Copies of this chain bind each other. A is one copy, B any other.
Amino acid sequence: MKRYLSVISLDDALALLDREFSKKPSVIQVPLENANGRITAEAIFAKYSVPEIHVSAMDGIAVVSAETNAASEQHPVTLPRAARVNTGNVVPPEYDAVIMIEDVWEKDGTYTIRKAAAPWQHVRPAGEDLAESEMVIPSCHRIRSHELGGLATYGITEVNTMTVRIGLVPTGSELVAHGTRPKPGQVVESNTVMAKAMLEEAGATCTRYPFVEDVPEKIRDAISMAVKENDIVVVSAGSSAGTKDYTESVIAGLGEVLVHGVAIRPGKPVIIGRIEKKPVIGLPGYPLSALTVLREIVLPCLKYYGLPVPQPAIVPAQITTAIAKEVGSDEFVLCSLGKIGGRWVLSPQSKGAGVQMAGIRANAYIKVPKTSEGFDAGSVVDARLMVPERESEQALLITGSHDPAIDYLCDLIRPVGVSLLSTHVGSMGGILALKKDQCHAAPTHLLADDGSYNTAYVKRYLPETVVNLVCIAERQQGIVSQDGLALSDLPGRSFINRQKGSGTRMLLDHELKKTGVDPSAIPGYEREVTTHIAVALAVRCGEADAGMCVYSAAKALGLPFVPVANERYELAFRQEHADDPRLVTLIEAIRSTAFKEILSRLGGYDTRETGRIRPGDG
């Protein structure tokens, strides 16, 4: 059985990349118009002076300053000679000053002034801006958009830019191109799409090669060609220990494998090899593993080639939930980051390396160093930003029960600049986050024994805190199945459940008890997923006969739905944050006509209570 050749630390892997390769960037010439954001490969010098001779700095008249000396408000002077000049016109050699047109009275071709002109006033001397041969921009400078203007002025039409040519080789017989719906067992090739965008943003020039089947000879040919045409080659997938993982043996055949396995999570099965003196990096297949390796290994490698790769901004943030890990690996966790009452709060996201959405939902990430056993909840850690700091300051953290409606609220408020980041931990998880003041608001639908929603739990868990509840909607929960099962039909049918602490699970238990059905009679009662749509999906693909979810989820997947109960889905928030502009924006969105129209389109929502605010103690 194959094992990893050797696992080395991330620091050692980076040191090896820096040490083992002669890292010379490539130079490509780009037209000035395309140079924004690119890195200069060499200093740029002015081709001529600007201006080349003295020109007028104003619209006005060119004069001989000595002939203006007598002029004053009381004693206007009509000039013996003068020349009308516009801004940028050459000042004729016989003149040595310019008077603004606003200060000139013209009559029958003669000019009268009421103020003397100082020698050389409003005349731009040759080279005022820049003189021929002077340096405009140094090498290794990232060109800013407004600088294109100056470069054009100084005679620059082409810019030699510094880059690193990277060949991206996607391997795997299971790959299909995006746009093709993958059949069972097929995978959309997305890692080189991501890699090209990420690496080019940092200044690299990437070529995506055609997909290569899992045939060692074909992989060898593809890598050989990519090595010839590039400075670095990144081979996507095939770096693990599956039966068809040929990347390592192909690299070994063409050159040598320096590293197989870096102590980094996600991303461990990375390969670093050398062919024709160039680095060949085997990228793990899982998207978040690939993302991590690109960010933590390939981007730093570009720095060794001279590209000024931007570093993420870092803010100190309080982490909401503990992260436990074993000593020995650097671990990277995607997070939702927001500012609650002046302090940064950070919620780690799911760690599954296959959950590509985690990268889309995250606006920050953390590094748990290899020497660390993790972080306790409440620790202050370095959050590395994945968006501009100003944007993360506008993040609204929503923690609790999930409903598709939350995504539509996110869509409604994004245009005014508020980013809604929602963490799905179920209603009870939301109430606990609210208790710790770790979210701006918690969507919740918790049924008490007396039949009331939410207030009993708010009172119990936040007895000292003033909490408000704004109603999102009264929504229908029910049984989703392929064949129209009702709650009483569940015993003996395979079931897919929601996680403990979710309002849906509690509602199910309440209803089962009421109906006298014993959960142990329902096979699959223990199997948990975390969203309504995941329940409906498990039913649609035949993994389970039935589950409980909201109507909109069943409708979205076209499945029969038998109602069980209506429940009050509300958003709980602390009174102290009621004036937070982000929260105000969210509540306005909940109350908007647009939102009610969305709910009615999704189906299963009663919007008569939507937007109503009540105190959290009922």
**Chain A interface residues (CB < 8 Å from chain B):** 1, 3, 32-33, 36-37, 43, 47-50, 52-55, 57, 59, 84, 86-90, 101-102, 104, 106, 119-120, 124-141, 144-157, 174, 178-179, 181-182, 184-185, 187-191, 193-194, 196-198, 200-201, 240-245, 285-287, 290-291, 294-295, 306, 308, 310-311, 313, 352, 354-357, 359-360, 386-390, 404, 407-408, 410-411, 414-415, 417, 420, 527, 529, 531, 533-534, 536-538, 540-541, 543, 556-557
Contact = CB atoms under 8 A, between A and B. Distances in A.
Contacts of A189: 152
Contacts of A156: 178
A308 B191 CA distance: 28
Contacts of A198: 145-146
A329 B140 CA distance: 37
Given A178-B157, A181-B48, A387-B144, A355 B131 contact: no
Contact of A407 (B134, B184, B410): B134
Contacts of A178: 32, 151-153, 155-157
Contact of A181 (B47, B127, B152, B410): B47
A122 to B, nearest CB: 11
15 contacts: A36-B201, A86-B244, A101-B241, A126-B538, A131-B536, A132-B537, A138-B407, A138-B411, A145-B194, A146-B194, A149-B290, A150-B360, A153-B287, A310-B390, A313-B389
A132 B557 contact: yes
A358 to B, nearest CB: 9
Given A1-B102, A150-B356, 14 more contacts: A43-B407, A49-B541, A59-B241, A59-B243, A90-B185, A120-B527, A126-B534, A126-B543, A131-B557, A132-B557, A145-B197, A149-B291, A152-B190, A306-B415
A147 B362 CA distance: 10
A139 B411 contact: yes
B286 A87 contact: yes
Contacts of A185: 55, 88-90
Given A152-B188, A182-B52, A354 B308 contact: no
B32 A193 contact: yes
Contact of A135 (B104, B411, B540): B411
Contact of A133 (B141, B147, B295, B556): B556
B181 A125 contact: no
Contacts of A190: 148-150, 152-153
A200 B37 CA distance: 12
Contacts of A102: 1, 3, 241
B179 A135 contact: no
A151 to B, nearest CB: 8
B88 A153 contact: no
Given A178-B152, A286-B87, A415 B132 contact: no
Contact of A127 (B50, B132, B359, B534): B534
A148 B193 contact: yes
A88 B187 contact: yes
A477 to B, nearest CB: 18
Given A125-B529, A155-B179, A201-B36, A404 B146 contact: no
A244 B201 CA distance: 43
- Of A130, A157, A290, the most chain B CB neighbours within 10 A belong to A130
